[in-house]
Structure 1
C-alpha cells in the first residue's frame, strides 16, 4: 500500500512513518505539513491511504479531503486530531474519512487501523473485480475509469453491508 502523511508536526510524521514502514512493509510516497503541497502530490502520485491532521496551517484536514475528492481522487483517509469536537467528527465522517485517531497516537491502535484500512482496500478491489466479471465489463488492471470508481465503491460497500462486514462502510 502507498501512504501519504500530512501532519502539522514532524514528530507525528516520523512516528507514523516508523509504524507504517517497519510493521507493514508499505511505502510512504510522501509527507508534508503543507496542505497545498499534499493536494498537488496526491494529484500526481498513487496514494492508497492518507493520514491527515485535522488542524493544519491555512486549511483544516476536512477541507483538504473535500478538495482531493472534488478532483476525483479517492484514497482512504485516516484523520488525526488531539481534541476533535463532536461536530468535527461528524463532518469528517460525512466527508469520507475511514478512521479517526486521537493524538497522542497509540501505536497499537495505529497499527490496527492501518491493517484494517489495507484489508478494506483489498476487499473492495476484489469486489470490484467480481462486479466487473458479473457485469461483463472489460477491465484492464492498469486502468480505472474515474467516473465509474465512485459507483463501484458504492456497490462494493453495499455488498459488504449485505455480507455483514462493517469495516468497509
Structure 2
C-alpha cells in the first residue's frame, strides 16, 4: 500500500530511524497525485510502534520539533510540511504517526539531501536521488519502469510541470 507503512518499535533517537522516516516522507512526497488521491485524500501514513496483533509503542518523549530538526538535513528546506501525532498506550509508551501531505501537480521533485550509512545496508537514502513510494515500498525512481508499478523519472517530471498524466 503506497499510502500506509507500519513499523514496530524503533529507537526514535537513532540515525537509522531518522533515515527510515525520511525515506518514507520523500517517497510519499514523490507519488503521483492521481494515484495518491485514491486513499486518505492523498495523505500517506507511517505508524511507528505497532505490529501485527500488538502495539508495543515506543518510549514517550519524542517531540515533533526535534524530529523535524533531525529530518531537515535529509528532506531539505523546500520539503512540504508533514504532521506528527501520537496515541498513548500506557504511562511509558505511545504509538507515533507521521502523516505525509498529498502530492500536487506542479510540485517539484523532492530529492534526498543526505545519506545514512548503516551497519547492515549501503547508504540509504542517497543524496540527490528521488525516492518514490508505490505499491507498499519506497524505491529510487528510475529512468524506465521495470514493472508496471514502478515510477519512472519522466512521470515525476510530468507531475512537476503539472501534466498529471502517466506514461
TM-score, scaled relative to structure 1: 0.28
Q: Which has the higher contact order (CA 8 A, sep 6+)?
A: 2
Higher relative helix content: 1
